[in-house]
């Protein structure tokens, strides 16, 4: 569900924390690392807020921390291995500093609690995604010499009343979690088992958070959910109104509510699901200039047969219908996707269907990766991971080559055009340049001049690579 440039998904990015001065000070410092999707990074901000109330200050320097927490991801085996490597590193540190506490949060917590706590003895505390409120009490248990664990999943927890501490904040863009969990039982995915059932957050709390962020100077928010299109407030899965005294809100209506917060607050969202995306959402996006014209619509495979094995709930034809609707209602909308190569039983012909869909759609960018079998999933129980590793790799390389060609073509078509860009910060390659994104989520780099991050500028694209547009600021 991540946003970014064309590349194989790196599901284990490290996130350093920033210093926080809020609440009491117990003299202890927290070091947080986040891995995986944007939801994990958003959860880390909730954790930082909860522990700030207990007196913990967050730090970028793990060597001065008294508590190290790794917010983990289980979607790929590679992500879990990187977390284990980091845990081993911090355990070596603990030998020099026995008072150091080490904990694992998030998706690995439920799945590997026994191994991490008892068998490998890598951690002192294990906390699942729905138990972060219990962290202060669990830390007291650990201080008393006990191992502490809470990985219970909830049908109600949304953390709607907690104001997240913004970690790694550029002061311009922020995430807002609108729902938790997932009811889509995709055969390859562990999320329903690690994050629980789907539940939506009170829309008014979402609007309040967006309004607060705007007042604090933020100019873009991304609404997060495993499947934002299935957001529904005060409506049961059967369509019944739960409380007649309250309004019902679907995702299109939520988008409108947030868009009305301020005309110069940009709205993005992630991730959409092809089986649930409605024309109502698309028409709402088209109606408001501050809702960005960009949709991340994971296809996973271009083969209906593979999609059936994946239990995705749609066919190739249905997906193409959704792409056609986006292009019809918002001709200027950019589209990105997720693609898995080498899923169980995938034939050469089925792989070719994915390649042909990519060529027909011409995505602006994509996250592409090889299938990695995960424990407890339907795919592990029902199918055999029978595509040889070298075949997976060859297919992945072909997919990447096709996508790079599409990305370059799309960016070349933007050269000569002028876009409104939200300046986000200084370019990594030059202090004299700023970077930002246009409505279509394309990264643009331009001269810094006297432009302040957080302001909108008009930038004319003058050159490009497959990942970036270079431009010049248009005055007036």
Q: Residue 255: give its domain's CATH number.
A: 3.80.30.20
- 279 and 351 co-located in one domain: yes
8 pLDDT higher than 50 = no
Residue 358 lies in a domain: yes
**CA–CA distance, 472 with 476 (Å, rounded to integer):** 13
Last residue of a domain, one of 359, 383, 412: 412
Which helix H or strand E contains 317, and what residues bound it?
helix 316-329
Residue 305 lies in a domain: yes
- 53 and 96 co-located in one domain: yes
Cα-Cα-Cα-Cα dihedral sign, residues 138, 141, 142, 143:
positive
282 pLDDT higher than 90 = yes
pLDDT digits (tens, 9 = 90+) for 69-125: 999 887 777 778 889 899 999 999 999 898 999 999 988 887 788 888 876 788 999
Last residue of a domain, one of 393, 412, 431: 412
**CA–CA distance, 340 with 133 (Å, rounded to integer):** 35
38 pLDDT higher than 90 = no
- 98 and 180 co-located in one domain: no
Q: What is the mean pLDDT of the chain?
A: 91
Chain centre distance of CA 208: 21
**CA–CA distance, 398 with 404 (Å, rounded to integer):** 10
**CA–CA distance, 250 with 286 (Å, rounded to integer):** 17
CA angle in degrees (0–180, nearest 5) for 34-35-40: 70
Query: Tell me, what's the pLDDT at 146?
Result: 82
Query: By C-alpha distance, which of 261, 265, 251 is closest to 174?
Result: 265
Query: Tell me, what's the pLDDT at 23?
Result: 55
CA angle in degrees (0–180, nearest 5) for 53-155-233: 95
- 444 and 330 co-located in one domain: no
Query: Tell me, what's the pLDDT at 7?
Result: 30
Residue 2 lies in a domain: no
Query: Tell me, what's the pLDDT at 77?
Result: 75
- 347 and 449 co-located in one domain: no
Query: By C-alpha distance, which of 426, 414, 427, 423 is closest to 463?
Result: 414
Query: By C-alpha distance, which of 157, 144, 155, 87 is closest to 121?
Result: 87
Lowest pLDDT segment from 192-196, 220-224, 321-325, 398-402: 192-196
Phi and psi dihedrals of 29, rounded to 5? -120, 145
- 393 and 290 co-located in one domain: yes
Residue 165 lies in a domain: no
**CA–CA distance, 76 with 11 (Å, rounded to integer):** 7
Mean pLDDT of 398-427: 98
**For the chain, percent of residues with pLDDT exceeding 90:** 74
342 pLDDT higher than 70 = yes
Residue 161 lies in a domain: no
Query: By C-alpha distance, which of 360, 384, 367 is closest to 309?
Result: 384
The answer to whether 387 and 426 have CB atoms below 8 angstroms apart is: no
- 120 and 185 co-located in one domain: no
- 116 and 247 co-located in one domain: no
Residue 119 lies in a domain: yes
Boundaries of domain holding 359: 173-412
**CA–CA distance, 151 with 155 (Å, rounded to integer):** 13
- The DSSP string of 297-358 is ---B-S-HHHHHHHT-S--HHHHHHHHHHHHHH-TT-EEEEEEEES-TT--HHHHHHHHHHH
Mean pLDDT of 317-327: 98
245 pLDDT higher than 50 = yes
166 pLDDT higher than 60 = yes
Mean pLDDT of 419-446: 97
The total number of structural domains that make up the chain:
3
- 62 and 35 co-located in one domain: yes
- 230 and 200 co-located in one domain: yes
- Read off the pLDDT band of 25 (50, 70, 90): low
Instruction: Give the pairing of strands 266-270 and 101-106.
Output: unpaired
Residue 376 lies in a domain: yes
Lowest pLDDT segment from 112-126, 189-203, 267-281, 323-337: 112-126
Last residue of a domain, one of 379, 412, 445: 412
Phi-psi sector, 440: left (phi>0), alpha (psi -120 to 50), beta: alpha
* 223 to 106, 131, 299: CA distances (angstroms): 19, 22, 20
- 328 and 208 co-located in one domain: yes
- 348 and 238 co-located in one domain: yes
Residue 464 lies in a domain: yes
Query: By C-alpha distance, which of 286, 284, 313 is closest to 298?
Result: 313
Lowest pLDDT segment from 2-11, 97-106, 238-247: 2-11
Winning range, highest mean pLDDT, from 105-109, 233-237, 297-301: 297-301
Task: Select the more confidently predicted residue: 77 or 306.
Answer: 306
Helices 107-114, 77-96: axis angle to 10 degrees equals: 70
Query: By C-alpha distance, which of 284, 35, 265 is closest to 173?
Result: 265
pLDDT digits (tens, 9 = 90+) for 343-380: 999 999 999 999 999 999 999 999 999 999 988 899 99
pTM assigned to the model: 0.89
Query: Tell me, what's the pLDDT at 24?
Result: 65
pLDDT digits (tens, 9 = 90+) for 177-233: 999 999 999 999 988 888 889 999 999 999 999 999 999 999 999 999 999 999 999
- Read off the pLDDT band of 10 (50, 70, 90): very low
């Amino acid at each position: 569900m991540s946003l970014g440039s064309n590349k194989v998904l790196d599901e284990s990015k490290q996130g350093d924390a920033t210093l926080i001065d809020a609440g009491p000070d117990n003299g202890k410092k927290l070091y947080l690392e986040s891995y995986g999707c944007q939801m994990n990074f958003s959860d880390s901000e909730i954790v930082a807020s909860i522990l700030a109330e207990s007196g913990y200050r967050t730090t970028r320097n793990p060597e001065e921390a008294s508590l190290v927490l790794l917010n983990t991801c289980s979607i790929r085996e590679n992500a879990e291995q990187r977390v284990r490597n980091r845990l081993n590193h911090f355990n070596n540190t603990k030998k020099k500093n026995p008072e150091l506490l080490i904990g694992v949060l998030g998706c690995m917590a439920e799945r590997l609690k026994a191994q991490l706590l008892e068998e490998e003895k890598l951690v002192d505390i294990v906390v699942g995604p729905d138990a972060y409120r219990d962290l202060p009490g669990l830390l007291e248990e650990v201080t008393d010499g006990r191992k502490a664990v809470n990985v219970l999943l909830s049908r109600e927890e949304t953390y709607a009343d907690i104001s997240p501490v913004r970690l790694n904040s550029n002061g311009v863009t922020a995430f807002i979690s609108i729902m938790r969990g997932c009811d889509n039982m995709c055969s390859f995915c562990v999320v329903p088992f690690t994050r629980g059932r789907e539940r939506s957050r009170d829309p008014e709390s979402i609007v309040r958070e967006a309004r607060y962020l705007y007042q604090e100077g933020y100019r873009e928010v991304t609404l997060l959910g495993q499947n934002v299109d299935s957001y529904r407030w005060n409506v049961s899965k059967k369509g019944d109104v739960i409380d007649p005294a309250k309004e019902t809100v679907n995702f299109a209506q939520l988008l409108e509510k947030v868009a009305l917060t301020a005309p110069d607050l940009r709205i993005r969202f992630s991730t959409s699901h092809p089986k649930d995306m409605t024309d109502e959402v698309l028409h709402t996006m088209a109606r408001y200039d501050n809702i960005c014209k960009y949709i991340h619509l994971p296809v996973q495979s271009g083969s209906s047969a593979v999609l059936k094995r994946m239990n995705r709930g749609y066919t190739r034809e249905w997906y193409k219908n959704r792409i056609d609707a986006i292009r019809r209602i918002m001709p200027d909308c950019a589209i990105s996707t997720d693609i898995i190569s080498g899923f169980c039983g995938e034939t050469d012909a089925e792989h070719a269907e994915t390649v042909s869909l990519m060529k027909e759609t011409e995505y602006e960018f994509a996250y592409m990766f090889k299938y990695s079998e995960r424990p407890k999933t339907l795919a592990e129980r029902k199918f055999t991971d029978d595509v040889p590793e070298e075949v997976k790799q060859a297919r992945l390389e072909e997919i990447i080559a096709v996508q790079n060609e599409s990305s370059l073509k799309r960016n070349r078509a933007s050269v000569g055009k002028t876009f409104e860009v939200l300046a986000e910060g200084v370019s990594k390659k030059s202090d004299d340049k700023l970077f930002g994104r246009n409505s279509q989520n394309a990264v643009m780099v331009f001269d810094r001049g006297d432009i302040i991050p957080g302001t909108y500028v008009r930038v004319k694209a003058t050159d490009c690579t497959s990942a970036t547009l270079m431009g010049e600021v248009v005055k007036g």
